[in-house]
Amino acid sequence: MPNHHRSAGIVVPLLGILLIAINLRPVITAVGPVLPALGEELSLGPSALGLLGALPIAMFALVSVTVQSLVARFGVVRTTAGALALLTVATVLRSWPGAQANLWLGTALLGAAIAVGNVAVPVIVKQSFPRATALVTSIYVAVLGVFAGLAAALAVPLANTSTLGWRLSLGAWAILTFCGLLFWLTRALRSDNASHERAAQSASVSRQARRASLWHNPVAWQLSAYMGVQSGVFYMSLTWLPTVEQAFGVDPVATGLHMFVLQVAAVVANLLAPALMRIGNDQRVAAILPGVLMLIGLVGIFAWPPLMVLWVSVLGFGTGVSFVVALSLIAMRATSITTASRLSSIVQSIGYTIAALGLYVAGVVQGLSAPAVLGVISCMAVAVAVMGAYAGRDRVISDCTSAT
């Protein structure tokens, strides 16, 4: 019996984490390969498409800072269930025929839902696997990457199977979000109201003072900047590389497959990231290396496009390592679950603001010259290496928010 309970205590939380991972990226990565078709049907120019691509990430930034309050009030289980419910509705709404407002409102709402999941996962990992945060985070990100890649690879083929086109390609992923919702809704219905009330009361004791001091903590800002620039490279690549390749004459189906290759390479990197994080006395090697790899991949894409598969693989490896490092550092730098929740909210709010700005700039630049997008992404890649040198230092944020 003890072994049974011990296994359940591992399997059930891990399954829940993986069901979140399955659903947080397909609704975003499926957009890039069908973006030209979407823009043509709805008569959206490069700036509008850039805004559309940046909108979910902007919502990450706006909503992330509020998630800690939601977790304190409702508990992480119920907050996660609510996010998946909203994600399901938003995914359907975005693809619903009719007013163009459906596209914009659905995109904004799914960004808000994903933001909640993004912040909740490090808290769930810290709570359920305090001694294996890097390993569980790498598994989570690997699964996230697999489904993100599948969404990109299947985007154009799905669109070609129906007169609904891109609407089917983007809306079909509501099936998976609904499956995730069923699991987390079941857990939410079994959760203990009293425990959530006690958690909320405890979290509110000195919330305002602690939040203010955390916003002024240099470690929090370094993690935020690192999260922002590495996210910027990832989302700009997924959103705009297919368009850049199609401008070069590459078949749309092939561009989707290239994004799948990028994600497969990222999955390999996800699994290797914990080992890289053990190199040296801190995590600087693992934090700096992705920026170097990203830059190599981007230069290769521009200078030697016949080797596209190789270059997107190198780029994908860099994004895969950096995301695991960024999420792991949130849990590693916090000394308690409460601090991890607050730190995750702040890091992702600031970080995704940076990424959203980068996405919009990339859209504007793409309207002038498609290859110039590679230059914008390359600047972000350099910033990943620079900020990695700061974020990778072995420092922690205690409950009183001092860096040690």
Res 205 pLDDT > 60: no
The DSSP secondary structure of 309-339, one letter per residue, reads HHHHHHHHHHHHHHHHHHHHHHHHHBSSHHH
- At 203 the pLDDT is 47
Pick among 3.20.20.70, 1.20.1250.20, 1.10.150.110, 1.20.1270.30: CATH of 2-391: 1.20.1250.20
pTM over 0.85: no
Res 97 pLDDT > 80: yes
The DSSP secondary structure of 127-168, one letter per residue, reads HH-TT-HHHHHHHHHHHHHHHHHHHHHHHHHHHHTSTTTHHH
Q: In sequence order, which residues have a C-beta less than 8 Å from that of residue 152 and are 6 or more positions away?
A: 29, 30, 32, 33, 238, 242, 256, 259, 260, 262, 263
Region 119-143: mean pLDDT is 82
Res 281 pLDDT > 70: yes
Region 180-184: mean pLDDT is 94
Dump pLDDT digits (tens) for 313-355.
999 999 999 988 998 898 788 777 777 778 888 888 899 899 9
Sequence ranges of the domains in the chain? 2-391
Region 28-51: mean pLDDT is 87
- At 337 the pLDDT is 72
Nearest 5°: phi and psi at 155? -55, -55
Of 108-117, 168-177, 193-202, 375-384, the poorest mean pLDDT is in 193-202
Q: How far apart are CA 17 and CA 129, in angstroms?
A: 11
- At 204 the pLDDT is 45
**Of the candidates 160, 155, 311, which has an alpha carbon nearest to the alpha carbon of residue 248?**
311
Dump pLDDT digits (tens) for 231-254.
999 989 988 888 888 887 888 888
